[in-house]
Amino acid sequence: MTTSGDTQNPKDAPKAGLKSAEDALSELKAHQAVVSDLSQAQAVLSWDENVYLPAGAAAARGQQLATLSKVIHERATDPRIGEWLELLESSNAADTKADTDTKADTDTDKTALLRETRRGFDHATKLPGEFVETFTRARSAAQSAWVGARAASDFSQFAPHLEKMVELNLRHADFLGFELHPYDALHDLYEPGSSTDKVRAVFAELRDATVPLVRDIAERGRDVSDAPVRQTFPEAEQEAFGVRMAAAFGYDFEHGRLDRTVHPFATSFSKYDVRITTRYEPGFLNPALFGTLHEAGHAMYEQGISSDYDRSVLGQAVSLGIHESQSRLWENLVGRSRGFWRWAYPQLQETFPEQLGGVSQDDFYAAVNKVEPSLIRVEADEVTYNLHVMVRFELELALLEGALKVSELPEAWNAKYKEYLGVVPPNDAEGCLQDIHWSIGMMGYFPTYTLGNIMSVQLFEAAKAAQPTLETDLEQGRFDGLLGWLRENVHEHGSRYQPTELLKRATGSDLDAGPYVAYLNKKFRALYGVEGDGADK
């Protein structure tokens, strides 16, 4: 800390005994660095919990994580943060006014830092301790009940907990504040700058295109068999091939690793250590293969954040939708594309000569792109996936509005599946009990999956426009051009720009379902031999 003349005049001294805005900024950054380290430590414990925890250690690990949460929360709500922010916000407003035209990168960073800090601090301090504790305990009980209810396929075991979750989410929204709809406050936690109305609008456009596409494929599409991917594939070879493809994409194993788990995920302990997990089904190639590419997509985003933002709030991914755009881009727009398999399929055939030696590239491409309305979201194909998300969005909205009672959820769920997908779950385990989200109190989260899909195509189209050779590059196993474009336009910015601004800067557009609809129609109408684009249905 340097001293300044200000200290000689106590009347000018800002709060918290600070000497200047410069000092406040460096103190704030030092404070955030500690919180960042502790949060990363917490992520290590969670990773270990999911990957390597001995069976009998669950309660002890829960206690360790609870203590870390509490210690982090104490620091994240330190009143000095509010004082630093007040000082810096007024100083920054003055600077910006005086200096609008010459705004440099460092000014953008500072503004972004204040925005993200304010957002996190307000969120943390708006919630009374009593509420946080009640919510934590209720979530823990709800998750246990959900596990039991799903195993028994008995919604009544989970219903009272879901009622509690609806009530607590409404209280949560009240504490955070909102103008139009409590869902706005909740959804904003996961996708800053988005809103219920925006989601409604893009979902409507997507639904109007998807439902006829699914119908055309079902009624008039040619037969596509997934038999090629439903053979016996030994795990070691599945893993070796997945690792080879992820590394080819650009996932950096020097700063990451792949482990096995029941519910795959990616997690970051700083950009220097971003880990992915997957699970292997010996009788089905898709889960581990596309799961690995998906998680590698998430991980490459985190690995690509600028090192300028190490230990800073700006070093975090900016939203779940942007995160999902990266995983889906690598999983689907690359990993399920015809061009990619021109390069990759001969290698896969070499890995599995007995299983795939006699399967043509066309048949394999069709097999990994088979469209089939199904019951389970996480197993859904590209076309039907978003219908699963829409069902959840509409139902959680109705629950929060009170238009739907919890007791009516199973019936409403099944009716929507019948309407959108033409299938009806035979039981609640395969119906409204399939996802963990509501049991851990997450409402407003589901739409980000579809927002990610939509943005993945907007970003991919922009990358293609910027790099005319991109598609032939992919056909030849050259992924560095695409990754480089994503690094420069998405990854490195961390939380520097809000999602909407990031998307606009990268693509020139706002959120737009159009390119995604066009992509789905083009790819799947060609594959299934059904003409039209569904627009006139």
User: What residues are annotated to the active site?
Assistant: 295
Strands 258-260 and 274-278, bridge-based pairing? parallel
CB-nearer residue toward a second copy: 299 or 400 = 299
| Residue nearer to a second copy on the CB measure, 59 or 104 | 59
Nearest distance in Å: CB 312, a second copy: 13
Smallest separation (angstroms) from a second copy to the CB of 150: 24
C-alpha radius of gyration, the chain, whole number: 24
Tokens linked to 41? 């430590």
Q: Select 34 or 94, whichever has its Cβ closest to a second copy.
A: 34
Tokens representing residue 163 in the block: 């009622």
Count of residues making up the chain:
537
Write the DSSP symbol of residue 284: B
Three-class SS state of 424:
coil
How many C-beta atoms surround the C-beta of residue 18 within 10 A?
20
Collapsing DSSP to helix, strand or coil, 267 comes out as strand
Q: Whole-number minimum distance, CB 71 to a second copy, in Å?
A: 7
* Nearer Cβ to a second copy (62/532): 62
- Distance of closest approach, residue 55 Cβ to a second copy, in angstroms: 5
Residue 521 DSSP SS3: helix
Q: How far is the CB of 275 from a second copy (least distance, A)?
A: 8
Tell me the closest approach of the beta carbon of residue 246 to a second copy, in angstroms.
14
| CA dist., res. 365 & res. 374, Å (int) | 20
Q: How far is the CB of 28 from a second copy (least distance, A)?
A: 16
- Angle at which helix 196-220 crosses helix 382-401, to 10 degrees, equals 140
Query: Quick count: other Cβ atoms within 10 Å of Cβ 148?
Result: 12
Q: Which distant-in-sequence residues (6+ apart) come within 8 Å of 134 by Cβ?
A: 168
CB distance 204 to 381 below 8 Å: no
Nearest to 302 by CA among 281, 284, 275, 283: 275
The C-alpha atoms of residue 343 and residue 385 are separated, in whole angstroms, by: 27
CA torsion through residues 143, 147, 153, 157, sign:
negative
The distance from CA 246 to its chain's CA centroid, rounded to whole angstroms, is 19
Q: Parallel, antiparallel, or unpaired for β 266-268 and 274-278? A: antiparallel
Note the residues at the interface with a second copy (CB under 8 A): 33-34, 37-38, 40-42, 44-45, 48, 52-57, 59-61, 63-64, 67-68, 70-71, 252-257, 259, 269-270, 272-273, 275, 310-311
DSSP 8-state secondary structure symbol assigned to residue 442:
-
* Least gap, CB of 48 to a second copy (angstroms): 6
Secondary structure class of 310 (helix, strand, coil):
coil
Q: Which is nearer to a second copy, 253 or 535 (CB)?
A: 253
63 or 156: CB nearest a second copy: 63
Q: What is the DSSP string of 59-112?
A: HHHHHHHHHHHHHHHHHHT-HHHHHHHHHHHHHHHHHHHHTGGG--HHHHHHHH
CA distance 235 to 113: 45
In the 8-state DSSP scheme, what is residue 2?
-
To a second copy, the closest distance from the beta carbon of 27 in angstroms equals 16
- CB-nearer residue toward a second copy: 45 or 138: 45
The neighbour count for residue 510, using CB atoms within 10 Å, is: 10
Minimum distance of a second copy from residue 302's CB (angstroms): 12
* Inter-CA distances, 507 with 143, 324, 463, 500, 512, Å: 40, 17, 8, 11, 11
